[in-house]
Amino acid sequence: TGSSRPQRILKAVQKNATKGDPQSVISAIDYYCRHKEWAMNVGDDKGLILDSVLTEVNPSMALELGTYCGYSSVRIARLLSPNSKLITVEFNPAFAAIARQIIAYAGLQDKVTIVEGASGDLIPKMKERFGLKSFDFVFLDHWKDRYVPDTKLLEDCGLLRKGTVLLADNVICPGAPEYLKYVRNNPRYESRYYPSVLEYTKAEDGLEKSVFLG
Ligand SMILES: O=C(NCCCCCn1ccc2cnccc21)c1cc(-c2ccc(F)cc2)cc(O)c1O
Ligand SMILES: [Mg+2]
């Protein structure tokens, strides 16, 4: 059988990017997915918004739900301060294996821990597994119907603190309408919508940033 899309993306990184240079890895993936074959990375347009929110938050502990090929893991990890960490959760072992190689190619393997499994199973085990108190930043980019239950789970497991920033991808396309309702009508969150486009297209999409107020 032939290669998978993530395998082809890894090949494009190995061919066109410079080992240890995260920006070249990001550019190689964006070029491939814009000109060769589309893939569900957060992409360069929404990626600039992700970068700016990250720079503002400067998290010590970051969580990503939905690794895929590791594109946004590289975007996040490249901006983390020394000793800051990213935990990224991926459901699909084949995707996780590719992401591990792309993150390592960027030279960011010491900052990123990839955990395989379902968010609903893993979130309740995070405190004990990683000895962490809470997350400073959470990037939601997994199953869109899991955004609300997993946000509630993060609250209930005491993994959010006053000021934790949640950033959700795809709130317009494919859409996360229940999530928008949940965070926008909730006194425990201060939300703001960042309009953008669906990765590598002209279709409308955007990111929702929600600050947990405790
Ligand atoms: O579906 C998307 N992402 C989720 C992929 C599956 C995640 C599975 N998963 C990972 C960790 C994890 C942990 N627990 C449970 C499940 C978990 C997605 C889709 C589109 C898209 C697709 C077609 C189209 F026409 C327009 C847009 C664009 C995006 O940017 C996306 O992110
Ligand atoms: Mg996405």
Of 68, 119, 170, which is best to mutate to test ligand 1, by the most ligand atoms within 8 angstroms of its C-beta?
Answer: 170
Ligand 1 atom nearest 90 alpha carbon: 11
Ligand closest to the CA atom of residue 40: 1
Span 117-128, average pLDDT: 98
For the four alpha carbons of 73, 126, 141 and 193, in that order, the dihedral sign comes to negative
Model pLDDT, residue 1: 78
Examine the pLDDT at 207 and tell me if it is beyond 90: yes
Q: Per-residue pLDDT tens for 2-56? A: 899 999 999 999 999 999 999 999 999 999 999 999 999 999 999 999 999 999 9
Ligand 2 midpoint to CA 174 (Å) = 9
Ligand 2 midpoint to CA 147 (Å) = 12
Q: Flag whether the pTM goes above 0.90.
A: yes
Ligand 2 midpoint to CA 30 (Å) = 14
- Which residues, 6+ apart, have CB-to-CB distance to 25 below 8 Å? 13, 17, 74, 102, 105, 106
